[in-house]
Copies of this chain bind each other. A is one copy, B any other.
Amino acid sequence: TQQLLSGRAPRSKPFRVTNADRSVKKGIMADTLDDLMDKVSDSFGVQCVSALVLDEDGTGVDMEEFFQTLTENTVLMVLEKGEKWTQHPNSPSRGQL
């Protein structure tokens, strides 16, 4: 269905999306950043997504090209207005590495 031959059409990939306090995490398929934004908005009941960031280090995912480099099952965090990314409590601080 995805135009295998044409090459250009991005392939749907699974992502894991969590909310800002990490109380909910959902698996969501998306082929573009806009597509993911739409689905996250629906799925989390967030009217206006302020940002999608990488759960691991808070890197903002604004650009389609960067989004396309993410691997399957990358964990993203959806931020609503006023919310901020915080480090995962269980992640090793750099000092412990």
Residues of A within 8 A of B (CB): 12, 14, 16, 24-29, 43, 53-54, 57-63, 65-67, 69, 72, 75, 88, 90-97
Contacts and interface: CB of A to CB of B under 8 A. Distances in A.
Q: How many copies does the complex hold?
A: 2
A27 B91 contact: no
Given A59-B25, A90-B93, A91-B95, A72 B69 contact: yes
Given A24-B60, A27-B60, 20 more contacts: A12-B65, A14-B65, A25-B57, A25-B60, A26-B59, A26-B63, A27-B54, A27-B61, A27-B62, A28-B63, A28-B66, A29-B63, A29-B69, A43-B62, A43-B63, A69-B72, A90-B95, A91-B94, A92-B94, A95-B96
Given A16-B59, A59-B16, A27 B94 contact: no
Given A93-B90, A94-B91, A58 B14 contact: no
